[in-house]
Amino acid sequence: MDNEKPICFQNEFDEVVSLFKSSIDTEMSKHPEININVDKVIQEFENILLENLNILKQVEENQQNKDINAKIEAMQTKALNIKTNLQSHRAMFIENIRTQIENELNENRLRIQITDVPKDEDEDSNPELIQSLNLLDSSIQELQQKVNDTQKAMQANINKYETYEKTVSSSLSDV
């Protein structure tokens, strides 16, 4: 915000205030019938100037501020370049590590050979095994039916309780 205000040096500010004060004093001496608080007017004038001007101590300090700002901007630019380089190197490092890991995995991956599994001839001819498998199949089907029946019963209860909840909620909201 201070950068938008016009720059005024302290000696110039003091001179303007002094000129204003002497002008007021001169006019007041010409018109003694005017009754105003001169000190208050001068103070308000100074306050308005202070609000609207960027007052610097001396010209040398202004140059020092410009030099310091230039150094700060140069350092910020350098820091930004360093940050960009670090991000670039980090990305390259991560990519190199990823490539090395993929290469290691590809080199050390187990080679699995799929072969035909020999069929056990006793499986088809063993009547006890066939009977046990059939019993297991029917038990699985019964269990699936019971799960479906239980789900239907639970859904019916949920629907019943939702209706009850809505009734109670509407009764409570009416109260």
Residue 53 domain-assigned (yes or no):
yes
Residue 114 domain-assigned (yes or no):
no
Count of domains observed in the chain: 3
pLDDT digits (tens, 9 = 90+) for 110-156: 555 556 655 655 556 678 888 888 888 888 888 888 888 888 888 88
Residue 50 domain-assigned (yes or no):
yes
- For residue 40, give the amino acid letter: K
Residue 118 domain-assigned (yes or no):
no
Say what the pLDDT of residue 96 is.
85
pLDDT category at 52 given cuts 50, 70, 90 is very high
Per DSSP, the residues of 3-66 read GGSPEEEHHHHHHHHHHHHHHHHHHHHH-TT----HHHHHHHHHHHHHHH-EEES-HHHHHHHH
Say what the pLDDT of residue 159 is.
85
Which range of residues forms the domain containing residue 85?
A: 64-106
CA 137 to each of CA 108, 131, 152: distance values in angstroms, whole numbers, following the listed order = 42, 10, 23
Paired tokens of 131: 């009977």
| 102 and 132 share one domain | no
| 50 and 32 share one domain | yes
Residue 98 domain-assigned (yes or no):
yes
pLDDT category at 171 given cuts 50, 70, 90 is confident
Buried b vs exposed e over 98-133: b needs ≥16 C-beta within 10 Å? eeeeeeeeeeeeeeeeeeeeeeeeeeeeeeeeeeee
Q: Is 84 helix (H, G, I), strand (E, B) or coil?
A: helix
Say what the pLDDT of residue 61 is.
64
Residue 81 domain-assigned (yes or no):
yes
pLDDT category at 93 given cuts 50, 70, 90 is confident
| 137 and 169 share one domain | yes
Residue 100 domain-assigned (yes or no):
yes
| 51 and 70 share one domain | no
* Of the candidate ranges 74-78, 101-105, 139-143, the one whose mean pLDDT is the lowest: 101-105
Residue 165 to residue 159: CA distance in whole angstroms: 10
Q: Of 69, 66, 60, 67, nearest to 11 (Cα)?
A: 60
| 42 and 13 share one domain | yes
pTM of the full predicted structure?
0.33
pLDDT category at 60 given cuts 50, 70, 90 is low
| 6 and 53 share one domain | yes
Residue 97 domain-assigned (yes or no):
yes
